[in-house]
Amino acid sequence: MKHQPDFAKLAQSSGEWLRGTGPESDIVVSSRIRLARNLADFPFIRRCSDEDRVSIERTVRARMETLDGWDDIRYVDIEDISEIDRQFLVERQLISREIADAEGSRGVALDPAERYSVMVNEEDHLRIQVMNSGLDLHAAWKQIDALDDKLEGEILYAYHSRYGYLTACPTNVGTGLRVSVMLHLPALVITGQIEKVFRSMQRINVTVRGLYGEGSQYTGDFYQVSNQVTLGHSEESLLSLVGDEVVPRIIEYERKARSFLIDQGEQDLNDEVSRALGILSTAKKISSEETMHYLSKVRMGVNLGLIENVQVGTINKLFIHTQPAHLQKLHGRLLSSSDRNIQRASYLQGHLNGKLGDGELN
Amino acid sequence: MKHQPDFAKLAQSSGEWLRGTGPESDIVVSSRIRLARNLADFPFIRRCSDEDRVSIERTVRARMETLDGWDDIRYVDIEDISEIDRQFLVERQLISREIADAEGSRGVALDPAERYSVMVNEEDHLRIQVMNSGLDLHAAWKQIDALDDKLEGEILYAYHSRYGYLTACPTNVGTGLRVSVMLHLPALVITGQIEKVFRSMQRINVTVRGLYGEGSQYTGDFYQVSNQVTLGHSEESLLSLVGDEVVPRIIEYERKARSFLIDQGEQDLNDEVSRALGILSTAKKISSEETMHYLSKVRMGVNLGLIENVQVGTINKLFIHTQPAHLQKLHGRLLSSSDRNIQRASYLQGHLNGKLGDGELN
The 10s digit of each residue's pLDDT in A96-145 is: 999 999 999 999 999 999 999 999 999 999 999 999 999 999 999 999 99
Residue A15, class by beta-carbon neighbours within 10 Å (0-12 exposed, 13-18 middle, 19+ buried)? buried
Stretch A42-71: mean pLDDT, rounded? 92
What's the pLDDT score for residue A354? 60
Pairwise CA distance, residues B165 & A172, whole Å = 96
Query: Range with the lowest mean pLDDT among A58-62, A109-113, A230-234?
Result: A230-234
Kindly determine whether residue B359 and residue A350, on different chains, have CB atoms separated by under 8 Å: yes
**How do A74-77 and A2-3 pair as beta strands?**
parallel
Answer whether B274 touches A (CB < 8 Å).
yes
CA–CA separation, B95 vs B127, rounded Å?
9
Q: How confident is the model at residue A65 (pLDDT cuts 50, 70, 90)?
A: confident
Contact A278 B283 (CB under 8 A): yes
Chain B residues with CB inside 8 Å of A357's CB?
A: 353
Q: Give strand pairing partners of A2.
A: A74
First-last CA distance in chain B: 59
Span A199-225, mean pLDDT? 77
Do residue B274 and residue A285 have CB atoms under 8 angstroms apart?
no
Q: Considering only residues 284 to 343 of chain B, which have any Cβ-Cβ distance to chain A shorter than 8 Å?
A: 284-286, 314, 342
- The residues with which A110 forms a beta bridge, in sequence order, are A74, A117
State the nearest Cα–Cα gap between B106 and chain A, in angstroms. 36
Nearest Cα to Cα of residue B219 among B118, B133, B291, B113: B291
Inform me whether the pLDDT recorded for B361 exceeds 60.
no
The pLDDT assigned to A217 comes to: 56
Residue B131 pLDDT class (50, 70, 90 cuts): very high
Task: Read off φ and ψ for residue A330, nearest 5 degrees.
Answer: -65, -35
A349 touches chain B (CB under 8 A): yes
Q: Which of A262, A271, A336 to mutate to test the interface with B (most CBs of B within 10 A)?
A: A271
Provide the 3-class DSSP secondary structure of residue A11: coil
CB atoms within 10 A of CB A68: 7
Question: Å from A163 to nearest chain B CA?
Answer: 51
pLDDT score, position B86:
96
Ramachandran class of B207: left when φ > 0, alpha when ψ lies in -120 to 50, beta otherwise = beta
3-state secondary structure of A344: helix
Tally of CB atoms within 10 A around B312: 20
User: Whole-angstrom Cα distance, residue A256 to residue A185?
Assistant: 11
Q: What SS3 class is residue B104? A: coil
CB contact under 8 A, A354 and B353: no
Average pLDDT for residues B315-339, to the nearest whole number? 93
d(CA B1, CA B65): 6
Is B213 annotated as belonging to a binding site?
yes
ipTM score over 0.85, yes or no: no
Q: Is B330 helix (H, G, I), strand (E, B) or coil?
A: helix
Q: Where are the beta strands (DSSP E) in A41-104?
A: 74-77
User: For position A213, what pLDDT does the model report?
Assistant: 59
> What are the backbone dihedrals phi and psi of residue A285, each rounded to the nearest 5 degrees, phi first?
-155, 140
Q: How far is B11 from chain A (nearest CA, A)?
A: 15
Nearest to A127 by CA among A234, A34, A235: A34
Residue B1's Cβ-count burial label (10 Å; 0-12, 13-18, 19+) is: middle
The whole-number pLDDT of residue B214 equals 54
A87-102 exposure pattern, b = at least 16 Cβ within 10 A, e = fewer: bbbbbbbbbbeebbeb
- Mean pLDDT confidence for A71-93: 93
What is the band of B158 on the pLDDT scale with cuts at 50, 70, 90? very high
Task: State which H helix or E strand residue A204 sits in.
Answer: none
Q: Please report the beta strands in A145-249, taking only residues with DSSP state E, as ranges in sequence order.
A: 159-160, 164-165, 177-184, 206-209, 222-227
Share of chain B above pLDDT 70, in %: 94
> Residue A127: what pLDDT?
97
Highest mean pLDDT among A189-193, A273-277, B211-215: A273-277
Q: Which of A304, A298, A215 is nearest to A259 (CA)?
A: A304
Tens of pLDDT, residue by residue over B93-109, are 999 999 999 999 999 99
Check residue B152 and give its pLDDT.
Answer: 94
B267 to chain A: which residues are within 8 Å by CB?
A: 284-285, 342
pLDDT at B216 over 70: no
**A361 in contact with B, Cβ within 8 Å:** yes
CA distance A276 to A290: 10
Condensed to tens digits (0 to 9), the pLDDT of residues B185-210 reads: 999 999 999 989 888 887 788 888 87
Provide mean pLDDT across the span A237-243. Answer: 92
Long-range Cβ contacts of A215-219 (<8 Å, 24+ apart)? A216/A97, A219/A289, A219/A292, A219/A293
Amino acid identity of residue B44, one-letter, is: F
| A350 near B CB under 8 A | yes
The partner residue sitting opposite B350, judged by closest CB among A282, A314, A359, is A359
Question: How close, in Å, is residue A282 to chain B by CA atoms?
Answer: 5
Q: Is B283 on the interface with A (CB under 8 A)?
A: yes
User: Is residue B358 over pLDDT 50?
Assistant: no
Rounded to whole angstroms, how far apart are CA atoms A225 and A181? Answer: 5
What is the residue type of B284? K
Beta bridge partners of A208: A225
Residue range B40-74, pLDDT digits in tens: 999 999 999 999 999 999 999 999 988 888 888 89
Q: Is B33 a known ligand-binding residue? A: yes
Give CB contacts under 8 A, 24+ apart, made by A44-53.
Answer: A44/A124, A44/A125, A44/A168, A45/A121, A45/A122, A45/A123, A45/A124, A45/A125, A45/A168, A46/A168, A48/A121, A50/A104, A50/A105, A53/A104, A53/A105, A53/A106, A53/A121
Residues from chain A that touch B266, judged by Cβ atoms under 8 A, are: none
Distance in Å from the first CA to the final CA of chain A: 59
Would an 8 Å CB–CB cutoff place B265 in contact with chain A? Answer: no
- Cβ separation A356–B356 shorter than 8 A: yes
Choose among B324, B133, B319: nearest CA to B221: B319
The DSSP code sequence of B176-211 is: -EEEEEEEE-HHHHHTT-HHHHHHHHHTTTEEEEBT
Q: Which residues contact B82 (CB under 8 A, 6 or more apart)?
A: none
Strands A164-165 and A107-110: unpaired
What residue type is B31 in one-letter code?
S
**The pLDDT of residue B259 is above 70:** yes
SS3 content of chain B, % helix, strand, coil (to 5): 50, 15, 35
Question: In degrees to the nearest 10, what's the CA dihedral of B340, B344, B347, B352?
Answer: -170
Q: Which residues of A touch B278 (CB under 8 A)?
A: 275, 278-279, 281-283
Q: How high is the pLDDT of residue A360?
A: 29
DSSP assignments along B105-141, one per residue:
S-EEEE-TTS-EEEEESSSSSEEEEEEEESS-HHHHH
Q: Which residue of B has its CA nearest to A311?
A: B362
Residue-level pLDDT at B49: 95
Closest-CA distance of chain A to residue B315, Å: 11
β-sheet with A126-133: strand ranges across: A2-3, A74-77, A107-110, A116-120, A126-133, A28-37, A177-184, A222-227, A206-209
Nearest to B63 by CA among B1, B12, B10, B122: B1
Among A259, A296, A302, A256, smallest CA distance to A280 is for: A296
pLDDT at B205: 81
Do A38 and A167 meet the contact criterion of CB atoms below 8 Å apart? yes
Q: What is the mean pLDDT of residues A295-313?
A: 93
Q: What is the mean pLDDT of residues B346-360?
A: 70
pLDDT on residue A358: 39
Nearest to B274 among A267, A270, A284 (CB): A284
Give B344→chain A minimum CA distance, Å. Answer: 12
How much is the pLDDT for B360?
Answer: 29
- Mean pLDDT taken over chain B: 90
